[in-house]
Amino acid sequence: MALLGTPAVALQHSPTAAPAAARASPASAAPAAASTMASTMSAYKEKMKELSVLSLICSCFYSQPHPNTIYQYGDMEVKQLDKRASGQSFEVILKSPSDLSPESPVLSSPPKRKDTSLEELQKRLEAAEERRKTQEAQVLKQLAERREHEREVLHKALEENNNFSRLAEEKLNYKMELSKEIREAHLAALRERLREKELHAAEVRRNKEQREEMSG
């Protein structure tokens, strides 16, 4: 590294040395400039040799990077392209804001549809048949309960109708019997009065006959 530092110092100070020499003596400006340029070129050649040797040494210790190596730097991707003698080329890719957002939804692949086996289909058919039978049994049970309720309502209505008819008949019979008794009592009273009148008339006739016999 000491060899690398020496030409660098020459490169840094050589441009300022030439104007200083020019200002010092205009007569000797051309020879001084020529000597300075020569020393600069010589230092540059030595520097390039050292760099070539250093590059060769580094290539022995470090393998060459992959031509398409991608490096991540925050929101930026750096892709290494081809390496030429003139330099190294890179491709910089910036990520979109949606990729950087933590709340952006992650698009997941749809779940794979599981193939249905024949046994599973048979189980599903049996379960569907069982549900159908259960529903049918519930419907039949509801119909039976409804019919039973209708029979109970009809029986109650018939019973109430029969009770009403029986009560009406009993009431009518009572009225008829009462009317019959009243009529018979009235007829008996009439017969009793007629009998009393007949007795009174017979007694009157007998008294009249007795008076006639006594007077005659």
Summarize pLDDT for 181-202 with one digit per residue, the tens: 999 999 999 999 999 999 999 9
Total-model pTM:
0.30
pLDDT at 19: 42
pLDDT at 194: 94
pLDDT at 105: 52
pLDDT at 41: 72
Mean residue pLDDT across the chain: 73
pLDDT at 135: 96
pLDDT at 23: 46
Which carries the bigger pLDDT value, residue 40 or residue 181? Answer: 181
The answer, yes or no, to whether residue 18 has pLDDT greater than 60, is no
Predicted confidence band of residue 160 (pLDDT cuts 50, 70, 90): very high
pLDDT at 146: 95
- The answer for residues whose C-beta is within 8 angstroms of residue 18's C-beta and 6 or more apart is 32, 33, 36
pLDDT at 199: 93
pLDDT at 177: 93
pLDDT at 113: 60
The answer, yes or no, to whether residue 163 has pLDDT greater than 80, is yes
